[in-house]
């Protein structure tokens, strides 16, 4: 017997209850009871969807009518069982007398037989994607075939067949072809051999390019904000992921509480209008936060935002954070991005850092321009730094502790290439900071500062392997009093676990640990999502190895190593990090806890 299932598949009736109650005002007892004897998955399907269920409470159901229903039930049952991939079941549907004085019982007995498996899959394309030699189109065709969810050798079911077609269509319309559709689909099933041949034809329609942006909901802020933040210029090829990232940028900018971007698949594919609907944020906003970490203990923060300063039109964000180790107050003013994406900004920060040996009071003032793109951020600025360092007893010479003042010009570049955010499963990020300046205290000495960072995440077994590395160098004469904010120390919750906050530095003659001019930090972490019944939960287990070193000369860099294990939780209050690490140098265990949330 050959079964042919076209695109729509078999439609199941609305689910009745397994044992339907008598209808209101109907007979007191059913015309018959229904008993299904079959494997669990088949039994549950038949009990829910078999048409016989609808006639159990029909009054005055005579023997002839019941016999007719039993004949029809076999065809109905075979169609239902076929949706599970059983196309040659053995069926026995019969009427049995009930107990004395009871209602008769209709028995549906099923031997399902062997399930049907896929023998071959033929996926073809129509429309622009079929003949396009563009690299993205070729990649899209290959990806649809590679990610097909019902390959040869897999068991056939109607649900899996529908799901596979839906996934292929989603992959088609996600980029370049929002008007794509399933042109034709066919499942040929040979019941005698329990084999199914699948055919799918996807019609991409025309290639879509974005046209002019149509913005609604703007009243309070400059209308140029939306196109400059969204970065979807006319002529851009349609990409659903890019549009979603544009929505996130609009909401993340602080100017909008919500943003929705829509491209009508029925519009002109050569210049499809980009319809943007936004809801503006209020001019003033206050954000409060609480947190806890083993580095700094409990912390509270308050952030005030004014989205359009009178007379200037810039955005101002002022934040104050209080904790045991590094309380600070900062303020940043930023202009509306220009047509080229660059924006002017001014930032200032006052901070007090206590690492249990040295107390550093620092001030920073920065003026420059920044630009954020799809994956790349750039920042060019001039910065003034001043650090005043004191120790409780036996204060070392200022040149050894970062007590100084400097003026520098800096360029910062960072790139992010992950498969998704905020919890990527693969990809990498790189960053670089390059600066040059002059010290303003003592001898006026030039200095140069470079920092390189890298992060890579790659799949491993059913988890991920994360590599992290950072290196920094400050080149200056020995007598130069470079402020501590330009120098390096490390150790703590987010750097080298197993050590306290800023424990790793340069040991001074006085016995205290100060900042150094060279930094090297590396970490490898295996992350394993914790699953329950095969489904990922919000918990994740990790095992890690951290190492870091700070010195005033490259040859003096000696790594301090920490090893340990931990747990991550994506909680409603924000990410929770709990790590237990062993510091090889201090020979002790240290618990690292980091929790933060805003409201």
Residues above pLDDT 70, as percent of the chain = 92
**Collapsing DSSP states into helix, strand and coil, what is residue 387?**
strand
To 5 degrees, how large is the angle CA 191–CA 194–CA 198? 90
pLDDT of residue 12: 42
pLDDT of residue 17: 41
To 5 degrees, how large is the angle CA 222–CA 224–CA 228? 130
Query: Could you give the CA distance from residue 47 to residue 18 in angstroms, rounded to a whole number?
Result: 6
Count Cβ neighbours within 10 Å for each residue of 104-123 and write b for 16 or more, e otherwise.
bebebebebeeebebbebeb
**pTM here?**
0.71
Residue found by looking up tokens 């340069």 in the block: 506
**Distance from chain centroid for Cα 503:** 33
Radius of gyration of the chain (CA): 34
pLDDT of residue 396: 56
Other Cβ atoms closer than 10 A to 312:
10
pLDDT of residue 461: 83
Which residues are CB-neighbours of 207 under 8 A, at least 6 positions away? 128, 132, 176, 177, 237, 269
Q: Which long-range contacts (CB under 8 A, 24 or more apart) does 252-255 make?
A: 253/225, 253/229, 254/281, 254/285, 254/305, 254/307, 254/315, 254/317, 255/221, 255/225, 255/229, 255/280, 255/281, 255/307, 255/315
Give the residues across from 418 on adjacent strands: 427
Q: Which long-range contacts (CB under 8 A, 24 or more apart) does 490-493 make?
A: 490/519, 490/521, 490/548, 490/550, 491/548, 491/560, 492/295, 492/592, 493/293, 493/294, 493/295, 493/577, 493/579, 493/592, 493/593, 493/594
**Domains of the chain, start order:** 2-111 (3.10.20), 117-203 (3.10.20.310), 210-280 (3.10.20.310), 284-598 (2.40.160.50)
pLDDT of residue 65: 85
Q: Edge to edge, what strands does the sheet with 181-190 contain?
A: 2-6, 181-190, 195-203, 117-126
pLDDT of residue 102: 76
pLDDT of residue 432: 98
Enumerate residue ranges in the chain where pLDDT < 50.
1-2, 5-19, 597-599
Q: What is the Cβ-side half-sphere exposure of residue 233, based on CA atoms within 13 angstroms?
A: 7
pLDDT of residue 392: 61
Query: Could you give the CA distance from residue 7 to residue 117 in angstroms, rounded to a whole number?
Result: 18
Q: Which two tokens stand for residue 545?
A: 């190895």
pLDDT of residue 54: 85
pLDDT of residue 78: 87
To 5 degrees, how large is the angle CA 40–CA 45–CA 46? 100
Do the beta carbons of residue 159 and residue 187 sit within 8 Å?
no
pLDDT digits (tens, 9 = 90+) for 61-106: 788 888 888 888 888 888 898 888 888 888 889 888 877 567 888 8
Query: Could you give the CA distance from residue 597 to residue 422 in angstroms, rounded to a whole number?
Result: 16
């Amino acid at each position: 017997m050959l079964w042919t299932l076209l695109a729509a598949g078999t439609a199941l009736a609305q689910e009745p209850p397994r044992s339907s109650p008598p209808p209101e005002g109907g007979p007191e007892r059913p015309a018959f009871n229904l008993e299904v004897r079959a494997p669990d998955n088949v039994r549950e399907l038949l009990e829910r969807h078999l048409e016989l269920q609808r006639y159990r409470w029909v009054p005055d159901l005579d023997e002839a009518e019941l016999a007719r229903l039993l004949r029809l039930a076999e065809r109905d049952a075979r169609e239902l069982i076929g949706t599970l991939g059983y196309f040659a079941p053995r069926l026995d549907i019969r009427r049995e007398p009930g107990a004395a004085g009871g209602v008769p019982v209709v028995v549906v007995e099923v031997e399902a037989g062997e399930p049907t498996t896929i023998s071959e899959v033929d996926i073809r394309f129509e429309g622009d994607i079929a003949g396009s030699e563009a690299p993205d189109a070729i990649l899209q065709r290959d990806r649809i075939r590679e990610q097909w969810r019902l390959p040869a050798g897999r068991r056939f079911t109607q649900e899996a067949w529908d799901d596979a077609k839906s996934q292929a269509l989603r992959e088609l319309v996600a980029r370049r072809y929002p008007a794509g559709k399933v042109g034709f689909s066919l499942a040929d099933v040979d019941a005698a051999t329990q084999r199914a041949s699948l055919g799918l034809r996807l019609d991409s329609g025309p290639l879509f390019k974005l046209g002019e942006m149509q913005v609604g909901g703007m009243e309070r802020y400059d209308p140029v904000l939306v196109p400059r933040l969204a970065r979807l210029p006319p002529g851009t090829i349609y990409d659903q992921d890019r549009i979603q990232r544009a929505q996130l940028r609009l909401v993340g900018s602080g100017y909008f509480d919500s943003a929705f971007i829509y491209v009508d698949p029925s519009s002109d594919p050569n210049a499809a209008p980009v319809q943007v609907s936004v809801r503006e944020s209020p001019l003033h906003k206050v954000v409060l936060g609480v947190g806890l970490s083993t580095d700094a203990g409990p912390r509270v923060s308050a952030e005030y935002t004014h989205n359009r300063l009178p007379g200037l039109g810039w955005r101002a964000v002022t934040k104050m954070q209080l904790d045991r180790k590094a309380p600070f107050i900062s303020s940043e003013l930023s202009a509306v991005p220009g047509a080229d994406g660059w924006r002017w900004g001014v930032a200032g920060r006052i901070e007090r850092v206590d690492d249990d040996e040295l107390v550093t009071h620092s001030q920073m003032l920065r003026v420059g321009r920044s630009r954020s793109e799809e994956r790349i951020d750039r920042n060019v600025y001039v910065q003034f730094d001043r650090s005043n360092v004191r120790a409780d007893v036996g204060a070392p010479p200022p040149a050894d502790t970062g007590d100084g003042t400097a003026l520098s010009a800096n360029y910062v570049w960072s790139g992010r290439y992950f498969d998704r955010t905020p919890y990527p499963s693969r990809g990498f990020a790189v960053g670089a900071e390059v600066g040059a300046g002059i010290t303003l205290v003592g001898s006026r000495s030039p200095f140069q500062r470079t920092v390189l960072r890298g992060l890579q995440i790659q799949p491993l077994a059913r988890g991920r392997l994360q590599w992290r590395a950072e290196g920094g160098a400050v080149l200056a004469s020995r007598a130069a009093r470079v402020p501590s904010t330009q120098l390096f120390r490390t150790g703590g919750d987010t750097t080298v676990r197993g050590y306290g906050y800023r424990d790793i530095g340069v040991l001074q003659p006085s016995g205290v640990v100060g900042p150094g001019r060279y930094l090297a930090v590396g970490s490898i972490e295996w992350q394993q999502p914790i699953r329950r019944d095969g489904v990922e939960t919000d918990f994740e287990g990790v095992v890690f190895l951290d190492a870091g070193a700070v010195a005033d000369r490259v040859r003096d860099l000696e790594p301090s190593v920490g090893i340990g294990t931990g747990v991550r939780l994506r909680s409603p209050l924000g990410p929770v990090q709990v790590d237990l690490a062993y510091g090889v140098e201090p020979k002790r265990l240290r618990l690292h806890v980091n929790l933060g949330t805003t409201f």
